[in-house]
Each structure stands twice: as C-alpha cells, then as structure tokens.
Amino acid sequence: MAAAEQRTPVAGAPAAADAAVLRRLSTLDRFLPLWIALAMVAGLGLGSLIPSLNDGLDRLRVGTVSLPIALGLLLMMYPVLAKVRYEEIGRKRHDGVSNRAFFGWSLFLSWVVGPLFMFALAWLFLADQPAYRTGVIIVGLARCIAMVLIWNDIARGDRDRAAVLVVFNAIFQVAAFSLLGYFYLTLLPGWLGLDTQGFEVGIWEVARTVLIFLGIPLAAGFLTRRIGLKRKGRDWYDREFIPRISPITLYGLLFTIVLLFAIQGDTITSQPLNVARIALPLLAYFAGMWTAGFVIGKLIGLPYAQTASLAFTVASNDFELAIAVAVGVFGATSGQALAGVVGPLIEVPVLVALVYVALWLARRVTWPAPAEQPAGDRESARRPQLALVDVEPDTRT
C-alpha cells in the first residue's frame, strides 16, 4: 500500500522530549551501567577479602557451574521471559506496512548478518585470545529478548512487531543456539583455515546449557503468563505482577557478576587491557548492526516506527543468555565468562545513546506515513504495554 511521504515530526516526539529519554526508564534500568560497574568492583573486593571463595564455590559445583551462580543465571532469565507476549504471535496488523519486508529483513540481519559480523570482529580484534574471542562470538549469537523492548519503546518503535520478534527469538534460540554455536566456534574456523589453537566446542555442551538456562525459564515464563492472564486478567498481570518481578532480573545479573569477578579478580587486575580489547569488537558490533538496520529500514520504505524497531532488534543481544552459556560450558573462571560480563557494560550505554540518535533522525529525515488503522488496531495500539517492559518512572529503588 502506498504511503505518503512527510517530514513532520513523529507524533509526540518534539525536540524537548529527547531530554526525557532517561527519565522514562525505571531507576534500576536508568543506571544499569553504574550498577554493573559497582558489582564488578564489589566482586574484585570480595575476591581479595576471601581468597578461598572459588574453592567454596567449587564444592557446590554441578558440572561446570556452581549452584549459587546457576541460581543467579536462572533468576536473570525468568522475569524477562514472563514479560514476553506469546499471545501476539500470528496477529495481523492493518497499517500498510509489509510484514514480509519487516520480519524478513529483521530475521536475516539478526540470525545471518549479526553472527557473521561478530565472528569477523572477534577474529579481527582477538585472534590471539581464543577464550575472549569465543565469549564475544557467543554474545553475537544471543538475540535480545529483554532490553530491546525498552530501547524500542522509548525510541517510539513498533511495540507489537517488536513483541513478535522477541517471542520468535526466544523460542528459536532454544532450538538453534547450540547448532549456531557449533558452526561458528568449530566448523567455520576449520573451513576457513583459522588457527583455533586447539579450541573446539561440542554441540551437546552448548545445547545442554541452553536447555537449562533458557529452556527452563522459558517454560516457567510461558506458564506464568498463561496462568496469570487466565486467572487474574491482563490489567493485574501488567500493572501488579510484572513490576514486582522485574527487578529480579537485575538482582540475578548483579549477583552473578559479583561472583564472577570475585573468582576472576587476579586475571582482571593483572591484565586490565584485556577488558578494553573485549570492548572494542562489542562497540563496533552494536553501532554497526544498529546502523545497518536503520539504513535498510529507510531504503525499503518503512515508516519511522518500524525502522526504529528493526534497528534496535538487530543491534541488541541477550547478554543474560550469553553469560549463562559461557559460564555453563566453560566455567565461571573462564575468559569466555569475562567476555560475556563485559557485554552489558558496553551494550547499555551505546544503545541509550542510539535512542537519542533515533529520535533525532525521526525529526530530521522524511518518513512514509503509515496507513490509517482500523478502530480495533488503534485501540490495541493505545493499550498499556507494561506486559512487555516497564519503561515508565516507578518507585523502585
């Protein structure tokens, strides 16, 4: 359906609104990089005060993961997956935007271009560091199912389409992550003749970790949402239950980071430049993928809302899953786990900055106007979206 070109600002997006971007995040989400940095410092301090901590965690180990760290990893994932709107799958929109173009490009960029791009960056920047290189590649394989909804919402993207992508990514990762991990960590380097320094990953090692740390919370989140909506209704679930469990993700993440940095303190303090080296490919990845998504959205004629959703969904990664896989497969003291922890420290401030860029482009660039929606779709668009993510200011501390 043809759409008229217009150069008027996106509805509700005056220039003054940019200053309120961070205020629309909850207190916990707004200062996420700070909390992560403080958790890292606390972990280093804890490790120096209790040198035997790693031995204690080893006594609680099952496979390659100690039980306290496993608990933190599961706590990270459950609230995220309880927010996902599984019921949105298959819902049709009547706004004149091609679902084939939007979802086709999004899935192509997310599952083909993104992993290849991160693979190339990891080998370019970390060719001599197989552990860090592997951790960075794992970050590139984990598609975002949490924070992307925050960036999409405050950048005024298409909420419903972003929700469908999140559902697909969450389910697809359970089935495909282990295959992709085996391909990019073992098969592709061998085909290209790259020196992996004897490092290989078995497909079952990754599959087992994904089934535990994504499959279990995915099933729990789905059942929680299904039962909650049926018994208590959407309004209670969105406005009462979700705000109560949302902070658990951050608490689980920070708890895990404290333990990881406590047992990796010697490695980090003796080689601080390695953290900077890990950050370089991550910076290039987030900026490059966002730019690719935004440019392609504009070139194929998507309105601003869908272009913003495309850009943020392809640029965001599921750092919770990346940390879980790195720890589950390689252990908490591994370089892969350290690379996974650095991921959110870089991703969050970069994508906050890109929200400002997106809102600026919304006013400065000519965008197609979406077609008028039927009354039912307009009502749905106005419906509260807290089932996806909490983006309004709240009283949490």
- What is the model's pLDDT at position 384? 36
Phi, psi values for residue 82, rounded to 5°: -75, -20
Task: Compute the C-alpha angle 308/312/315, nearest 5°.
Answer: 140
The radius of gyration of the chain's CA atoms, rounded to the nearest angstrom, is: 21
The upper half-sphere exposure of residue 196, i.e. CA atoms within 13 Å in the direction of its Cβ, equals 16
Question: How far, CA to CA in Å, does 282 sit from each of 71, 83, 202, 347, 349?
Answer: 27, 27, 25, 8, 12
For the chain, domains (ranges, CATH) are 17-367 (1.20.1530.20)
| Among the listed residues 227, 244, 247, 257, the one whose alpha carbon sits nearest the alpha carbon of residue 320 | 257
> What's the pTM?
0.74
- Residue pair 280/125 in contact (Cβ under 8 Å)? The answer is yes
- What is the model's pLDDT at position 4? 45
From the CB of residue 61, how many other CB atoms can be counted at a distance below 10 Å? Answer: 15
Angle between helices 147-154 and 159-182 (to 10 degrees): 150
CA 23 to chain centre: 21
Question: Could you state, in chain order, the average pLDDT of each consecutive group of 10 residues for the chain (397 residues)?
Answer: 44 48 64 81 87 74 71 82 75 69 93 96 94 93 76 82 81 83 89 73 74 84 93 92 88 84 75 87 96 96 94 88 83 85 83 90 87 45 37 37
